[in-house]
Amino acid sequence: MSRYILGVTGASGAIYATRTAMHLKRLGHHVTALVTPPGRGVLAYEGQEDLFKYVDEQPDVKNFFAECASGSADYAGMVVVPCSMGTLGRIVGGTSDNLLIRAADVCLKERRPLVVVPREMPYNLIHLDNMTSLTRMGGIVIPAAPHFYDRPKTIEELVDTVVARILVHLGALTTADNIVKPWKGIRIPASKSKAPSVKHLAKVKAKKK
């Protein structure tokens, strides 16, 4: 069991936070949620209050006396999901002006995994520069960009394609096996050309159904 910090901001996509918290709990981890005031508003608007069922503690983001404000506390890492462009900028700027930003700053200084899941479109140059800077600082940017090749049937399955990557990068899961199947490649008959033909891919797809 490890302890993880889940930062939730006022970007759209609170379901990513709910599914992350749910899987962290299912895997036996401890979850400290840091939710910004806009985060609480958007989360409620998107009907994701279930998130709090999977949370062990939720210190106020104005409370700098909370445990996660210090590098001496034994947290294994932090994810900010979904991450607004405002919070992304403040993390990169090192402002530490609320507990979420301070906890992210602590993760960077202690060289612990800090995963940030930005949600905005399109990006302006400030957003892109901030993502580059965060990557240079050691943060891991995982955009809320789900994949479709598993042909997910529900929004939860689609969201979990992102959540699986978050958990692997946090170190909370060794492989994505028990959430989404890892890509195993497609075997091409030796006699055929190097790249699979459209016909071959259609056959593989039909078999998977």
Ligand X SMILES: Cc1cc2nc3c(=O)[nH]c(=O)nc-3n(C[C@H](O)[C@H](O)[C@H](O)COP(=O)(O)O)c2cc1C
Strands 140-141 and 3-8: unpaired
**CA 104 to chain CA mean position, Å:** 14
Q: Of 106-125, which residues contact ligand X (CB under 6 A)?
A: 119-120
CB nearer to ligand X: pick between 31 and 117 = 117
The verdict on 131 binding ligand X (CB under 6 A) reads no
CB nearer to ligand X: pick between 12 and 70 = 12
Residue closest to ligand X when measured from CB atoms: 10
Are 48 and 83 in contact by the 8 Å Cβ rule? The answer is no
Question: CB of 9: closest distance to ligand X in angstroms?
Answer: 3
Q: To 10 degrees, what angle do helices 85-93 and 99-109 make?
A: 50
Cβ burial 12-32 (10 Å sphere, 16+ → b, else e): ebbbbbbbbbbbbeeeebbbb
CB nearer to ligand X: pick between 17 and 167 = 17
The verdict on 12 binding ligand X (CB under 6 A) reads yes
The verdict on 86 binding ligand X (CB under 6 A) reads yes
The verdict on 58 binding ligand X (CB under 6 A) reads no
118 prior amide bond cis, ω within 30: no
Element (H, E) at 7: strand 3-8
CB nearer to ligand X: pick between 105 and 172 = 105
The verdict on 11 binding ligand X (CB under 6 A) reads yes
The verdict on 38 binding ligand X (CB under 6 A) reads yes
Q: Which residues bind ligand X (CB under 6 A)?
A: 9-12, 36, 38-39, 42, 45, 84-87, 119-120
